[in-house]
C-alpha cells in the first residue's frame, strides 16, 4: 500500500442553474459546496444526510460521472479524466457504481448473465462464462440464474445482479448510492452483509451513500455527515453515531428508534432550507436548537475539535461560543 | 418509458390467446395477400402491365374471359396492371417508411445525445416540417427536381421523420437521465454500445408502432401524388396513377379506377387496424 | 408570459427563414428556369435577355439576399408565365379556396369532435365501435377516391349535382363534403384518444368518487383537459385552410390556390410556387403560434416549459 489514498477529493463544488417561476432569473444552486474527502483501499466511507443534501451528487462527482465546477478528484494519485474520453472509459473498470433502483439500472431486454458479462466485454476481459458463473456465486445467486431476465428476479436478487456486474472488473472503488433503500427490510440486511463480506474478500474501497444511519454504521470505517452540500462532521462511526458533536448529527442520531430505550428525540424545526436560498453564516442555524448570533453571521469551517480531534463544522461544538441553551 | 417492456410482455402473453379480434385477423390476411401479390407479381400476372390488346379496349369486367377485371383505354389488362401497381405502391411505401424511420430516429438520438446546439437545430427542422403541409413541400420538390423513382421514395421518406425524431429524442433523454443507459455508460461503454445494444432495442417497439401508423399515410401520399400526375410516371404504374388515369373514363369505364381505389382503401384500412391494435397492445402512450 | 411569447416568436421567425431558404434553394438549384420557360430551342440571345430581366445571371448568394430583401418589402416577384404579380395571382384564388375549406372545417369540427367525445364516453359500446369503424374508414379512403366516388354516385348515376367547375354553390357541395368527411374522421379519432387518456386520469376518478355528478365531471374536468391535445390538430387544420385543398380542387376542377399550385409546379413558375409556399408557411406558423398561446391559457404547466 502506498501513502497516496485510493481516492482523494478536494473542494468539490457543483452548481446547477435553476429557474423559478416564469419570470424568475436563473438562480445558482450549490448542490455540493466545497466537499473534501479521502478514501483508503479496502475501507468504507459512509456519507449520510437527508435527501437533497448533495450526497448523491458527491458520489457522482467522485466517480467522474459529472465534472465539478471547482475542486478536483484524484484517483490513485492521478486526476480524473473528462467524462466520455477513452481514458475515462478505461478507468470505469477500476471504479463502479451500485444504484438505488436495481430494476431501473438493468436492461429489461437482456438476461442478467449477458449484463454481468457486459463490463468484461467492454474492457476486453476474457474467460467470460466461468467468470460470470463465479460472480453469480460470489453475490449469492445460482449460475443457472444467468438466463433470467430482470423482471423474473426479486428485488434483492436484482440488486445482487447489479452488484455482480459492478464487481465484474474487480474495481478498486465502489460507490453505492442508496443501495438498499429500494429493498425490503428483510433483504436489506442480506445485501449489507454481502457488501461487507465481499469487501473483506476483494479489498474494494466503498463510498456508501445513504440516509440510513444504521446501515452506514454497519458497513463504514469512517462516517461523514452532510448538510446542504457540505460535510458538517466526520469521524469514526462509533464516535460520530454514539456521541455526535454537530447539532445536526445529534438530531439525526436521536431519530434512530431504539427499542426499549427511552430517549428524547431532538425535533428539528422547519424543512431543510432551499439550497437556492442558503442561510447566512452556518447553513443549519435557522433549524439549530443551540444556535447563537455568531452562527447566523459566520460560516463555521470543518476542523478538528480541540478535545478529541473530531472533525466538526460548528462554532458551538468547537467551544468558540457558549450554547444559547442546552440541547 | 421505462415501463414499456415489462407490462408489455406480461399483458401480451395473458391476452394473446384469448382474443384475436376478427377485424385484425382479416387485416392480417389481406396484408398477407397483398404481400404475396407484390412478391409474386411476375408469376401471377396474366399479362405484362404494358401489353396492349387493341381489340378489347375498355372491356368491362367479365365481358371477356381474357380480362377478368376488364381493360383500359389502350386495351391493357386491368388485373395485370393492378398486380404490378400493388408491387410498386408497397415497394415505395416500405422504402419510404424505412427511410423516414432511419432519418428521424438518427436525428432524434443525435439531438438527445449532444443536446445544446445540435438539439436546437433538430428542433428547428422539426418546426420547419410542421410548418408546411407535406403535400405542398413534396409538390415543390418533385416538380422542380424532376421525377425519378429514387427521389420519389426518398422524398416520401421525409414524410414522418419529425415524428420519429420527436419520439426517439424523448425516449433517449429519459433513458439516459436515469436507469439502464446511465448504468451501462458508467460501465465504460462507448456511445455506440449504449445506443445500439441498449437504448434502441428498448425503444424499438414504440418506433415500430409509429412505423405501422405512418405506413398507410405514405400509401395515401404516394397515391395522391401519383393521382395528380406528379408521382410514379408512365410507363410505370402505381395504385394512385391508375386512379388518376382512370378518372377520365369515370363515366364510360369506372372499373379502371374502382379496383385500384378499392385496393388502396383496403390496404390502408388493414394497416391502420393493425397499427391501432399494435399500439393499444404495445404502447398506449402514442397517439 | 412575456418570455414565453418572445421565445415562441423567435422560433416562428426561425421557421419562416428556414422556409424561405428552403424555397429558394430548391427552386433555384433544381434547373435553369430560363431554359424551361423559353423552351430548349429558344434563341440564345432571348434566353440571355430573359436571364438578365429576372436577375438569373447574378451569383446565387446575391440572388438570395435580393430575394430575402424583396420578401421583407412585400415583393414576392412576378409570374414568369404572364408577368403578373405572383401575390395578386395567388390572392385572387384565395376566396375560391376558402369557400371550400372554411365550410369543410366547420363540418370537421361539428362532426368529428362530438363523435369522438361520444365514442370515448361510451367506450367499447356499439356506438364507439361504429364511430371508430367509420373514422378509420374515413381516414383510409383517400380524398381523391372519395371525391371520385361521390361524383360517380351523385353526378354520374343520380345526376343531382354537378361533377366539377365553379358556377354556383351547388358546385361546392361535393368538394366540401369530400374534405369534411376525411377531416372529421381524423378529428374523431384524435378527440376520442385524447378523451380516453383524460378519463383514465386519477383526478377524474377522484372527482366522480367524491360525488361530483358525471355530467359535471365531463364538462368541468374531462373536456378542458382533453381540449389541450385536440387544439393542436385543429390548429393544423386552420393552418392548412389555404393549401388543404390541392387534391380535392384537382378532382373537382375548382379554380383555387391548390389548382394554381399544381399548374404552377407543372410549369415551373417559380414566383408563384414560392409565393404559395410562403403564404402556406406563414399561415401554418401563425396557427401554431396561436395554438401555443392557447395551450398556455389551457395548461398553465406549459408556460414554464420554455427551454
List the single residue in C240, C265, C285 with the smallest CB-CB distance to B140: C265
pLDDT reported for residue A326: 46
Q: Assess A267–C contact: CB distance below 8 Å, yes or no.
A: no
Hey, CA dihedral for B13, B15, B18, B23, is it positive or negative?
negative
Tell whether the model's pLDDT for residue B236 goes beyond 70.
yes
Question: Edge to edge, what strands does the sheet with A44-48 contain?
Answer: A95-98, A173-177, A205-210, A44-48, A222-227, A230-235, A311-312, A303-304
pLDDT reported for residue B167: 86
Tell whether the model's pLDDT for residue C44 goes beyond 70.
yes
Please report which confidence band the pLDDT of residue B138 belongs to, taking 50, 70 and 90 as the band edges: confident
Closest to A69 in 3D by CA, of A104, A34, A112, A114: A34
ipTM, two decimals, is 0.79
Higher pLDDT, B69 or A285: A285
How big is the CA angle at C258 (ends C256 and C259), to the nearest 5 degrees? 70
Closest to C184 in 3D by CA, of C107, C102, C99: C107
CB contacts, 8 Å: C4 with chain A? 22
pLDDT reported for residue C41: 67
CB atoms near residue A223 (< 10 Å): 25
Distance CA B103, CA B105 (A): 6
Distance CA B239, CA B88 (A): 8
Distance CA A62, CA A56 (A): 10
Burial class from Cβ neighbours inside 10 Å (0-12, 13-18, 19+) for residue A98 reads: buried
Average pLDDT on C187-206 reads: 82
Tell whether the model's pLDDT for residue C30 goes beyond 70.
no
Domain C86-302 in CATH 3.40.50.800? The answer is no
Distance CA C7, CA A263 (A): 57
Tell whether the model's pLDDT for residue B14 goes beyond 60.
no
Average pLDDT on B126-153 reads: 78
Average pLDDT on B184-207 reads: 85
Place of cell 401563425: C286
Count of CB contacts below 8 A, A vs C? 8
Q: Assess A216–B contact: CB distance below 8 Å, yes or no.
A: no
Distance CA C15, CA C280 (A): 12
pLDDT reported for residue A171: 92
pLDDT reported for residue A18: 67
> DSSP state, A94?
G
CB contacts, 8 Å: A21 with chain C? 304
| Domain residue ranges in chain B | 43-53+63-281
Average pLDDT on C153-166 reads: 76
Listed in sequence order, the residues at least 6 apart from C280 whose beta carbon sits closer than 8 Å to its beta carbon are: B132, B133, B136, C240, C242, C243
How big is the CA angle at A256 (ends A254 and A258), to the nearest 5 degrees? 100
Distances (CA, A) of C19 to B161, C282, C284: 17, 9, 11
For the stretch C96-146, pLDDT in tens is 888 888 999 999 899 988 888 888 888 878 888 888 888 888 878 888 888
pLDDT reported for residue A126: 77
Mark the ranges of chain A whose per-residue pLDDT is less than 70: 1-3, 18-26, 260-264, 323-327
Distance CA B42, CA B249 (A): 27
Contact (CB<8Å) C3/A23: yes
Higher pLDDT, B157 or C208: B157
Q: Assess A185–C contact: CB distance below 8 Å, yes or no.
A: no
Q: Assess A92–B contact: CB distance below 8 Å, yes or no.
A: yes
Number of residues that this document lists for chain A: 327
Interface test with B, best of C10, C101, C142, C292 (most B CBs within 10 A): C142
Grid cell locating A283: 447553513
Grid cell locating C72: 421583407
pLDDT reported for residue B3: 36
CB contacts, 8 Å: C247 with chain B? 135, 224, 227-228
Distance CA B264, CA A240 (A): 77
Closest residue, chain B, to C23 (C-alpha) = B140
Domain B43-53+63-281 in CATH 3.40.50.720? The answer is no
Q: Assess A186–C contact: CB distance below 8 Å, yes or no.
A: no
Hey, CA dihedral for A98, A100, A103, A105, is it positive or negative?
negative
Distance CA B273, CA B279 (A): 10
pTM reported for the whole predicted model: 0.75
CA distance B173 to chain C (A): 15
Average pLDDT of chain B is 80
pLDDT reported for residue B166: 87
Average pLDDT on B164-172 reads: 87
Q: Assess B279–A contact: CB distance below 8 Å, yes or no.
A: no
Distance CA B195, CA A238 (A): 46
Q: Name the 3-class secondary structure at B19.
A: coil
For the stretch C47-87, pLDDT in tens is 777 777 666 667 777 877 877 787 777 777 777 777 788 88
Tell whether the model's pLDDT for residue B143 goes beyond 70.
no
Higher pLDDT, C20 or C257: C257
Closest to A16 in 3D by CA, of A65, A51, A63, A67: A67
Closest to B286 in 3D by CA, of B163, B185, B196: B163
DSSP B67-100: -TT-B-TT--BHHHHHHHHHHHHHHHHHHHHHHH
CB neighbour burial string for A3-14, b if at least 16 within 10 angstroms, e if fewer:
eebbbbbeebbb
Contact (CB<8Å) C288/B130: yes
Contact (CB<8Å) B287/C140: no
pLDDT reported for residue B102: 92
Q: Please, which chains are in contact with A (at least 3 CB pairs closer than 8 A)?
A: B, C
List the single residue in A84, A99, A123 with the smallest CB-CB distance to B183: A99
β-pair type (A44-48, A205-210): parallel
CB contacts, 8 Å: B2 with chain A? 104, 108
Distances (CA, A) of A104 to A160, B22, B121: 14, 38, 31
List the single residue in B9, B186, B201 with the smallest CB-CB distance to A92: B186
Residues C146 and C182: beta-carbon distance below 8 Å = yes
Contact (CB<8Å) B264/C145: yes
CB atoms near residue B160 (< 10 Å): 25
Higher pLDDT, C131 or B19: C131
Grid cell locating A23: 419570470
Angle between helices B116-131 and C270-298 (to 10 degrees): 110
CB contacts, 8 Å: A65 with chain B? 186
**Bond preceding residue B235 cis, omega within 30 of 0:** yes
Listed in sequence order, the residues at least 6 apart from C289 whose beta carbon sits closer than 8 Å to its beta carbon are: C8, C9, C12
Residues A32 and A13: beta-carbon distance below 8 Å = yes
Distance CA C40, CA C31 (A): 12
pLDDT reported for residue A136: 92
Q: Assess A101–B contact: CB distance below 8 Å, yes or no.
A: yes
Residues A153 and A162: beta-carbon distance below 8 Å = no
Contact (CB<8Å) C304/A22: yes
Distances (CA, A) of A129 to A116, B228, C204: 10, 62, 52
β-pair type (A205-210, A173-177): parallel
Question: Edge to edge, what strands does the sheet with A26-39 contain?
Answer: A26-39, A7-19, A70-75, A78-79
Q: Assess A23–C contact: CB distance below 8 Å, yes or no.
A: yes
pLDDT reported for residue B269: 87
Distance CA C283, CA C226 (A): 25
Amino acid at each position: 500500500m502506498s501513502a497516496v489514498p485510493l481516492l482523494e477529493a478536494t473542494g468539490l463544488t457543483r452548481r446547477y442553474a435553476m429557474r423559478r417561476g416564469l419570470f424568475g432569473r436563473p438562480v445558482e444552486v450549490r448542490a455540493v459546496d466545497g466537499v473534501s474527502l479521502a478514501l483508503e483501499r479496502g475501507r468504507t466511507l459512509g456519507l449520510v444526510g437527508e435527501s437533497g443534501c448533495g450526497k448523491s451528487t458527491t458520489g457522482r462527482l467522485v466517480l467522474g460521472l459529472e465534472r465539478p465546477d471547482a475542486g478536483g478528484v484524484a484517483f490513485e494519485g492521478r486526476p480524473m479524466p473528462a467524462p466520455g474520453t477513452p481514458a475515462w472509459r478505461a478507468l470505469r473498470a477500476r471504479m463502479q457504481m451500485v444504484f438505488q433502483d436495481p430494476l431501473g439500472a438493468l436492461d429489461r431486454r437482456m438476461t442478467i448473465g449477458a449484463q454481468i458479462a457486459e463490463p468484461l466485454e467492454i474492457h476486453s476481459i476474457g474467460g467470460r462464462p466461468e467468470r460470470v458463473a463465479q460472480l453469480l456465486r460470489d453475490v449469492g445467486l445460482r449460475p443457472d440464474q444467468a438466463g433470467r431476465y430482470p423482471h423474473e428476479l426479486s428485488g434483492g436478487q436484482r440488486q445482487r445482479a447489479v452488484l455482480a456486474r459492478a464487481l465484474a472488473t474487480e474495481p478498486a472503488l465502489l460507490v453505492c448510492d442508496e443501495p438498499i433503500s429500494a429493498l425490503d427490510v428483510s433483504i436489506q440486511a442480506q445485501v449489507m452483509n454481502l457488501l461487507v463480506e465481499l469487501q473483506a474478500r476483494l479489498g474494494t474501497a466503498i463510498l456508501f451513500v445513504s440516509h440510513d444511519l444504521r446501515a452506514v454504521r454497519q458497513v463504514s470505517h469512517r462516517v461523514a455527515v452532510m448538510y446542504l452540500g457540505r460535510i458538517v462532521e466526520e469521524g469514526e462511526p462509533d464516535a460520530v453515531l454514539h456521541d455526535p458533536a454537530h447539532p445536526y448529527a445529534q438530531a439525526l442520531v436521536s431519530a434512530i428508534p431504539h427499542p426499549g430505550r427511552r430517549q428524547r428525540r431532538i425535533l428539528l424545526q422547519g424543512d431543510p432550507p432551499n439550497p437556492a436560498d442558503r442561510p447566512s453564516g452556518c447553513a443549519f442555524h435557522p433549524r439549530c436548537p443551540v444556535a447563537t448570533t455568531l452562527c447566523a453571521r459566520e460560516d463555521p469551517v470543518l476542523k478538528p475539535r480541540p478535545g478529541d480531534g473530531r472533525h466538526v463544522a460548528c462554532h458551538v461544538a468547537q467551544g468558540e461560543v457558549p450554547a444559547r441553551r442546552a440541547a | 418509458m421505462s415501463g414499456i417492456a415489462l407490462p408489455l410482455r406480461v399483458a401480451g402473453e395473458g391476452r394473446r390467446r384469448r382474443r384475436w379480434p376478427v377485424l385484425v385477423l382479416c387485416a392480417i390476411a389481406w396484408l398477407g395477400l397483398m404481400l404475396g401479390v407484390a412478391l409474386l407479381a411476375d408469376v401471377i400476372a396474366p399479362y405484362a402491365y404494358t401489353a396492349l390488346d387493341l381489340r378489347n379496349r375498355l372491356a368491362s369486367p367479365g365481358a371477356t374471359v381474357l380480362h377478368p377485371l376488364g381493360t383500359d383505354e389502350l386495351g391493357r389488362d386491368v388485373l395485370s396492371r393492378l398486380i404490378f401497381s400493388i408491387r410498386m405502391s408497397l415497394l415505395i411505401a416500405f422504402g419510404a417508411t424505412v427511410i423516414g424511420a432511419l432519418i428521424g430516429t438518427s436525428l432524434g438520438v443525435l439531438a438527445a445525445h449532444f443536446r445544446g446546439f445540435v438539439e436546437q437545430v433538430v428542433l428547428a427542422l422539426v418546426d420547419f416540417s410542421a410548418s408546411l403541409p407535406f403535400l405542398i413541400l413534396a409538390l415543390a420538390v418533385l416538380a422542380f427536381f424532376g421525377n425519378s423513382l429514387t427521389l420519389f421514395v426518398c422524398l416520401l421518406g421525409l414524410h414522418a421523420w419529425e415524428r420519429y425524431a420527436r419520439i426517439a429524442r424523448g425516449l433517449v433523454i429519459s433513458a439516459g437521465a436515469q436507469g439502464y443507459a446511465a448504468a451501462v455508460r458508467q460501465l465504460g461503454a462507448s456511445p455506440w454500445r449504449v445506443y445500439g445494444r441498449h437504448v434502441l432495442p428498448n425503444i424499438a417497439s414504440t418506433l415500430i408502432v409509429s412505423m405501422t401508423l405512418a405506413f398507410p399515410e405514405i400509401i395515401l401520399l404516394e397515391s395522391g401524388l401519383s393521382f395528380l400526375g406528379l408521382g410514379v410516371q408512365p410507363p410505370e404504374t402505381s395504385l394512385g396513377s391508375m386512379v388518376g388515369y382512370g378518372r377520365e373514363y369515370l363515366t364510360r369505364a369506372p372499373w379502371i379506377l374502382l379496383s385500384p381505389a378499392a385496393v388502396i382503401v383496403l390496404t390502408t384500412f388493414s394497416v391502420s387496424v393493425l397499427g391501432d391494435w399494435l399500439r393499444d397492445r404495445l404502447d398506449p402512450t402514442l397517439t | 408570459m412575456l418570455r414565453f411569447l418572445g421565445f415562441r416568436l423567435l422560433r416562428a421567425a426561425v421557421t419562416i427563414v428556414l422556409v424561405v431558404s428552403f424555397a429558394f434553394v430548391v427552386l433555384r438549384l433544381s434547373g435553369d428556369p430560363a431554359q424551361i420557360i423559353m423552351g430548349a430551342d429558344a434563341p440564345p440571345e432571348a434566353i440571355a435577355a430573359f436571364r438578365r430581366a429576372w436577375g438569373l445571371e447574378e451569383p446565387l448568394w446575391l440572388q438570395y439576399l435580393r430575394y430575402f430583401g424583396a420578401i421583407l418589402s412585400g415583393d414576392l416577384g412576378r409570374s414568369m408565365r404572364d408577368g403578373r404579380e405572383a401575390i395578386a395571382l395567388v390572392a385572387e384564388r384565395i376566396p375560391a379556396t376558402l369557400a371550400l375549406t372554411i365550410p369543410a372545417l366547420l363540418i370537421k369540427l361539428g362532426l368529428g369532435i362530438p363523435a369522438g367525445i361520444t365514442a370515448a364516453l361510451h367506450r367499447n359500446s356499439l356506438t364507439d365501435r361504429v364511430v371508430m369503424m367509420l373514422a378509420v374508414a374515413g381516414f383510409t379512403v383517400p380524398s381523391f377516391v372519395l371525391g371520385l366516388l361521390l361524383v360517380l354516385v351523385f353526378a354520374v348515376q343520380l345526376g343531382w349535382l354537378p361533377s366539377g367547375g365553379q358556377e354556383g354553390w351547388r358546385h361546392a357541395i361535393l368538394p366540401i363534403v369530400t374534405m369534411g368527411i376525411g377531416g372529421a374522421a381524423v378529428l374523431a379519432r384524435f378527440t376520442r384518444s385524447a378523451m380516453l387518456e383524460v378519463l383514465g386520469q386519477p383526478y377524474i376518478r377522484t372527482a366522480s368518487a367524491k360525488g361530483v355528478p358525471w355530467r359535471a365531471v365531463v364538462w368541468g374536468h374531462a373536456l378542458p383537459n382533453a381540449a389541450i391535445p385536440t387544439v393542436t390538430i385543429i390548429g393544423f387544420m386552420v393552418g392548412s385552410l389555404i393549401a388543404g385543398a390541392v387534391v380535392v380542387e384537382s378532382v373537382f376542377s375548382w379554380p383555387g390556390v391548390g389548382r394554381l399550385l399544381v399548374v404552377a409546379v407543372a410549369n415551373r413558375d417559380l414566383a408563384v410556387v414560392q409565393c404559395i409556399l410562403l403564404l402556406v408557411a406563414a399561415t401554418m406558423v401563425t396557427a401554431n403560434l396561436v395554438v401555443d398561446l392557447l395551450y398556455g391559457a389551457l395548461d398553465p404547466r406549459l408556460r414554464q416549459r420554455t427551454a
